[in-house]
Chain A
Amino acid sequence: MLRLRAAAWEDGYAVVESDGTLFMIRPPYRQVNKDEVTDADLEAAVSKHGFSAADQPFADWAALIEHLKRRLMEERKGRVPDTARIKKLVERAPAHLVPSFLDRIETELLLRKQWRAANGVLAHLLRNPAVRQDAGLLDRVSALLERAELEDDAGTSPLKKKIPSADPDAERIARHIREDRQVMPMGSAA
């Protein structure tokens, strides 16, 4: 039997008692997100860290986590996650992650004919400083854009037919990279 003792509903953090031991858990609720805590920690969570006291039993961890997830979304109701803001993170992805993104565009998105997704990621990567500053990465982005374009020309991509306005700069930017090895025309803002 589990007992929820305190929670920061908006963040999904919770103090849970399991067989007499207290644990702090947090999203995404994996084993590494579960720490044993003391009674004083529970008190500190409520008195210092803004947790709400609770006293609610749950049959198992799945039911408890489902409850925490539901409460988190209720607390954030009206603040719907912003898809554009989430996607824009790709423009700031650190350099060490970019090669794996490009690998997956090649081995997952293009193979599955997810043209729109591939095009979207590549367009955002073109604005990523880590890509702009690395000729090798720029070449790979350029090559993948070119490949997507070729496949589109071959009629295997419905992207242009369905969404003529999707990432209109992508082809032009890819051409610049291929021909001039630079992202933007000379003299434009960085």
Chain B
Amino acid sequence: MAFDSFFESGLEFRYGALNIGGLGASRFGEYCAIFHEGPAGCIHGYLKGDSLNHYMAVGPKVDEDLLRVDCATEALKHMLLTLKHASEATAKPAANWPEMICNADCYAEAIIVQGDLKAARLSCVRIGKVDFDLYFEYAFREFSERLSELDRYRVDAFAQIDERLQALGISWETV
């Protein structure tokens, strides 16, 4: 709350992560919604790290000095990421960069204003292939055996998301 309150309209902030492939900050959910970006995008800025992990000082209060040098606009996000990962990137093949840039422990945080999150900007929803296949396995088993209540709730939630994505013409991506 201290971070949100520091900004005008901060309570409308929602938080994402810059993602160039992969499941993203997966510890917070098995589904990763990928939004289009561009001039009229919904991302208002990027931070080099997680806002609470990196920019909150004792108080709690926002470490404004650090925040100022660690933020970038949409147009400059590639520079922010280059500064963050330069030494690491040179030692890794480009195929490993998506995992380097956004994983469960490390990501560049995207600041989104809630009202700008529109379905039309949703590009796809990523999910782990193991989880994706498992939900269809549950659907198969639903014909012949009694799934646990927990599994039934989970696969029904997946089915609802799948129906909604189909209606919107948005596809899954498995990783």
Contact = CB atoms under 8 A, between A and B. Distances in A.
Nearest to A42: B52
A117 B144 contact: yes
Interface string B87-125: 000000000000000001000000000000000000000
Contacts of A92: 162, 166
Given A26-B30, A28-B150, A35-B27, A89 B155 contact: yes
B1 A76 contact: no
Contacts of A11: 29
Interface string A90-123: 1011100100010010001100001011001100
B160 A117 contact: no
Contact of A121 (B135, B140, B163, B166): B140
Interface residues of A, number: 44
Nearest to A112: B144
Contacts, number: 99
B156 A38 contact: no
Interface of A: 11-13, 24, 26-28, 35, 37-38, 40-41, 43-45, 47-49, 69, 72-73, 76, 81-83, 85-90, 92-94, 97, 101, 104, 108-109, 114, 116-117, 120-121
24 contacts: A12-B150, A24-B27, A26-B30, A37-B27, A40-B52, A47-B1, A47-B52, A72-B153, A76-B153, A81-B149, A85-B156, A85-B159, A86-B142, A86-B159, A87-B143, A89-B135, A89-B162, A90-B136, A94-B136, A97-B136, A97-B137, A109-B144, A116-B143, A117-B144
